[in-house]
Homo-oligomer: A and B are copies of this chain.
Amino acid sequence: MAMDRLIQNIIEKQNPTVVGLDPKLDYIPKQILDAAFAKEGETLRGAAEAVLAYNKGIIDAVCGIVPAVKPQCAYYEAFGWEGMRVLAETVSYAKGKGMFVILDGKRNDIGSTMEAYAGAHLGIVKVGANEYEPFGGDALTVNGYLGTDGIGPLLGVCAARDRGVFVLVKTSNPSSGELQDRKLEGGETVYEAMAAKCEEWGAGSVGAFGYSAVGAVVGATWPKELAALRRLMPHTMILVPGYGAQGGGASDAAGAFDEKGLGAVVNSSRAVLTAWKKKGDDGNRFAECAAEEAIRMREDLKTVLPARIG
């Protein structure tokens, strides 16, 4: 089960974190940009090549420390199909280094279309007699606004190919409450209703550690809600954005974990990717700075976790 693989990685590394690969061009050292532009020009292809070189450096630096990476699809789509090409290469490279890859695409659609998304991001696509894995993620973030028949096709792929999904429940952004915090008749909030759906959708796929193939996204920016959701979704892994640059700290994320220190994986993107800037580096040590920040984050989270995770 995909979440078992993620959890095994977490236990092995004693580190319940994920590095978000959100490669804005201004995060990338000038040396890398210059080299890519010298070869490919100031083009979408040049930008994509810089992103790939940068991602490989980050992955090389953190793959011994961090169990997973989370490429955010938007930052690859921004460079058109050339960006999508290096998204696929980034996934492949990270998997080659033993990392679990969460594609952050927040995809959602009606059932027949969700089948296509499931094939693209987690599955295989048949062309004539051949089979291809277009993007090859281990897990995909999804949006559950369309209900069960928008999620069903993903569950089939998760079961057949050992993959997982993370459903948006309570997002980290300031305006998440506009809809998500509204109370439904009966008293539960919209996000609590979505949390109940996660447990329902995951019911058939609970793995060795007690967590199903269906995870949830809950922001560290809402520590009280996060702790309550941990209790409300006992079989649901929580992907926790909002740590670091968005303002959440270890104590804010603490409520996401179970008593063994499992059940959650905390994301940091910007703080890891731009660590070289904060440390006053000229960009030559961008990868080492990322590793240092990944270690700092691991140690920070350990202050709220059991002595041994798992």
Contact = CB atoms under 8 A, between A and B. Distances in A.
A293 interface: no
Contacts of A135: 77, 80
Interface stretch (A117-125, A251-259, A275-283): A117-125
Contact of A116 (B46, B77, B82): B77
Quickly give the copy total for this chain.
2
Contact of A145 (B44, B88, B180): B180
Contacts of A274: none
A115 to B, nearest CB: 8
Given A109-B74, A125-B78, A132-B43, A179 B175 contact: no
Contacts of A33: 128
B193 A179 contact: yes
A283 B147 CA distance: 36
Contact of A74 (B37, B120, B132, B185): B120
Contacts of A125: 44, 47, 78-80
A93 interface: no
Contacts of A268: none
Interface stretch (A58-66, A166-174, A296-304): A166-174
B127 A43 contact: yes
A114 interface: yes
Interface string A139-177: 000011111111000000000000000001001111111
8 contacts: A42-B128, A77-B135, A108-B168, A150-B173, A178-B197, A184-B184, A185-B185, A190-B190
Interface of A: 22, 24-25, 33, 37, 42-44, 46-47, 72, 74-75, 77-85, 87-88, 106-111, 113-114, 116-117, 119-121, 125, 127-130, 132, 134-135, 143-150, 168, 171-180, 182-185, 190, 193-194, 197, 241
